[in-house]
Amino acid sequence: MHNASIMMSNSRMGGPIPKFNDYHLWKTIYYLDDEETIGRKRLSSLLDIGEGSTRTIISLLQNQGIISINKSGIILTSAGMDLKKKTRMDLAPISVPELTIGEKNFAVRIPRVAHMVSYGCEERDAAIEAGATGATTLVYVGGKLMFPGSEYHVEPSIENEIKSVFNLKNEDVIVIGTGKTERSAEIGAVVAGIHIMGGLKLSRGIKDIISTRSDNSELLSLAFAIHDLVGGLPVCAKNRDNLGVRIENGAVIDNAYTGEVLEEVIRCGTTIRRIATSGPYKGIRVIVTPIELDNRTIAVIGVVDIRSMAGVDNLIRLHENDDVPDN
């Protein structure tokens, strides 16, 4: 393998473009209503994610009939307002260091769902998976704030602090997310709250993720997933009508990339395994496969087989071969 082929000194450096999760979907609905519109750029700023991810969220919600778009901006439909009511949560920063382990805390109140909580472990795990340090779940039953699955009441000073932030009613649940930043604590609390309510129940297909004209951010989640699954091997991805991305060592190192094999797979629509003859991976075996929708190639994704043991062939699978050049 040529050492120069994987050096980053002459590459455009960058980091992963922010990805979105149920928090961002819920927060989009939280920011919208059925009367006053909001523009995409403003929404992107409120969500603190890239415009590409925001476009994907808007497309997903529009396809589900949750929002409508006109010249003035984005607005919730009647179905969107119904979903907003069904997934209502009150949220606010809070200071209860006695209960949490992170530097910052953020709490949500989910009305009348105490019966849906067991011990709080699942909510904690959901918060951690979303990037928080942890989460503490409390239920308000019989006029007392207590830990779920037990008879232990919280300290009066803590209960008073929480009551100063939220107007508690019987069967309410409080989830306090905790993290290194207030943002991560908020995301953890909201995702845990969504988990208690049974999720947003939005179906997400490939059409909601990528299309022929999607920008790089729509492909990144898939590309990073493959990058992780193949043990950190370089991964390249490209939509049919836009330049693509190149990922190495957990970061985007080129966000305007294409290559001969990527382009050939777009043209022919079949998986290709061969040694690249040009570009940064010249002399190295690459494996590129098409992503198809409605019998048309809408994007391609490939792995650079620098260890001669990983590949992609419609589904990800290990692929061994003996003819990769020696290091």
Q: Residue 225: what pLDDT?
A: 81
Taking CA atoms, 103 is separated from 98, 99, 108, 185, 296, in Å, by 11, 12, 17, 9, 49
Least confident of 108-112, 122-126, 240-244: 240-244
Q: What is the mean pLDDT of residues 235-240?
A: 89
Domain spans, the chain:
3-13+209-318, 22-85, 88-196
Q: Residue 309: what pLDDT?
A: 38
Model confidence pLDDT, tens digit, residues 61-89: 988 899 999 989 999 999 999 999 999 99
DSSP H or E stretch at residue 239: strand 235-239
Model confidence pLDDT, tens digit, residues 256-275: 889 999 999 999 999 999 99
Q: Which CATH number fits domain 22-85: 3.20.20.70, 3.40.50.2000, 1.10.10.10, 3.40.50.2300?
A: 1.10.10.10
Taking CA atoms, 83 is separated from 87, 188, 277, in Å, by 6, 20, 53
Q: How many angstroms from the chain centroid is the CA of residue 224? A: 11
Query: What percent of the chain is predicted at pLDDT more than 70?
Result: 83
Least confident of 128-137, 182-191, 312-321: 312-321
- Taking domain 88-196, whether its CATH number is 3.30.1360.30 is answered by yes
Q: Residue 153: what pLDDT?
A: 92
For domain 3-13+209-318, the CATH architecture is: 2-Layer Sandwich (3.30)
Q: Tell me which of 326 and 280 has the higher pLDDT.
A: 280
pLDDT of 311 over the 70 cut: no
Confidence of residue 102 (pLDDT cuts 50, 70, 90): confident
Least confident of 17-31, 32-46, 224-238, 299-313: 299-313
Mean pLDDT, the chain, integer? 82
Q: Tell me which of 125 and 7 has the higher pLDDT.
A: 125
Q: What is the mean pLDDT of residues 13-38?
A: 78
Confidence of residue 162 (pLDDT cuts 50, 70, 90): very high
Q: Residue 214: what pLDDT?
A: 53
Q: Residue 19: what pLDDT?
A: 59
pTM: 0.62
Backbone angles phi and psi of 207, in degrees to 5? -65, -25
Distance CA 111, CA 88 (A): 8
DSSP H or E stretch at residue 302: strand 296-304
pLDDT of 123 over the 80 cut: yes
Q: Residue 227: what pLDDT?
A: 85
Do residues 174 and 109 make contact, with C-beta atoms less than 8 angstroms apart? Answer: yes
Q: Residue 167: what pLDDT?
A: 96
pLDDT of 195 over the 90 cut: yes
Q: What is the DSSP string of 158-216?
A: HHHHHHHHS---TTEEEEEEEESSHHHHHHHHHHHHHHHTT-------GGGT--TT--H
Q: Residue 3: what pLDDT?
A: 32
Tally of CB atoms within 10 A around 213: 11
Q: Tell me which of 56 and 326 has the higher pLDDT.
A: 56
Q: Residue 253: what pLDDT?
A: 87
Q: What angle do CA 39, 44, 46 make, to 5 degrees?
A: 95
Q: Residue 25: what pLDDT?
A: 93
Computed from CA positions of residues 106, 158, 113, 195, in that sequence, does the dihedral angle turn out positive or negative?
positive
pLDDT of 293 over the 80 cut: no
Contacts of 158 (CB under 8 A, 6+ apart): 96, 98, 99, 145
